[in-house]
């Protein structure tokens, strides 16, 4: 029994020694894993600092806002063009053709603008009585039908200043402006 007891004690000592050896190895591995974790966390902190979220650039923000505003404006123009709000799909060509077909001797145009339902025609004439006839003839054109003009203004142009102190000459023509809507006073 003493021998069996000695063998058991010796077996227990061997198991205890082996367990101690494994615990020491596990402690070493744990310490090494802790050091690796600290190194990885330090590296993560450096990378986060280096490549982390940056401050927004005021210049880029401004560029984005300008681009968005421009995009909205272009979308509005596209929508207006699709609805025919600015100009018909055929463009300005029918208007220019109508103005060319209704040429009247002694009346010449100096300006033309159109935006949506608003139109302005300006010109000059040597005989003021020709302007109403010209307007009536324009009204017969298909592209001009349905247009209502709110104002016809006729005025004598300013005297042309002469050189060498001589009195200026008065032009021999009258200027006229025909508008579909009155412009707001500025």
| Residue 183 C-alpha from the chain's centroid | 28
Question: Within 13 Å and on the Cβ side, how many CA atoms surround 101?
Answer: 14
The predicted structure's pLDDT at residue 96: 83
- Backbone angle region of 84, left / alpha / beta, with phi > 0 → left and psi within -120 to 50 → alpha: left
Structure-token match 């935006």, residue found: 115
User: CA angle at residue 158 from 156 to 160, to 5 degrees?
Assistant: 130
List pLDDT tens digits, range 53-107.
Answer: 777 888 888 999 999 999 998 888 777 666 655 455 556 678 888 888 888 888 9
What's 160's DSSP letter? B
Structure-token match 């002469």, residue found: 162
CATH number given to 93-179: 3.30.1360
| Whole-number Å distance between alpha carbons of 119 and 149 | 8
Q: Which residues contact 141 (CB under 8 A, 6 or more apart)?
A: 98, 101, 102
Range name among 89-98, 129-138, 160-169 with the lowest pLDDT average: 160-169
The predicted structure's pLDDT at residue 20: 95
* pTM, two decimal places: 0.46
Higher pLDDT, 38 or 149: 38
| Whole-number Å distance between alpha carbons of 42 and 37 | 9
| Whole-number Å distance between alpha carbons of 47 and 66 | 34
| Whole-number Å distance between alpha carbons of 136 and 134 | 5
Question: Which two tokens mark 118?
Answer: 């608003």
Confidence class for position 186, pLDDT limits 50, 70, 90? very low
What's 159's DSSP letter? P
């Amino acid at each position: 029994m003493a021998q069996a007891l000695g063998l058991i004690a010796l077996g227990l000592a061997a198991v205890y020694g082996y367990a101690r050896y494994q615990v020491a190895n596990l402690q070493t591995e744990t310490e090494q894993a802790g050091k690796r974790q600290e190194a990885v966390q330090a590296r993560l902190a450096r990378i986060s600092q280096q490549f982390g979220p940056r401050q927004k650039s005021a210049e880029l923000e401004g560029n984005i806002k300008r681009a968005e505003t421009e995009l909205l404006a272009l979308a509005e123009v596209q929508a207006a063009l699709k609805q025919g709000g600015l100009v018909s799909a055929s463009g300005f060509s029918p208007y220019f053709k109508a103005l060319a077909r209704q040429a009247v001797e002694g009346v010449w145009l100096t300006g033309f603008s159109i935006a949506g339902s608003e139109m302005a025609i300006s010109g000059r004439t040597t005989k003021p009585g020709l302007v109403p006839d010209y307007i009536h003839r324009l009204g017969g054109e298909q592209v001009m039908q349905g247009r209502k003009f709110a104002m016809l203004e006729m005025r004598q142009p300013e005297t042309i200043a002469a050189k060498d102190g001589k009195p200026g000459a008065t032009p021999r023509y009258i200027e006229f402006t025909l508008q579909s809507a009155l412009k707001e006073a500025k």
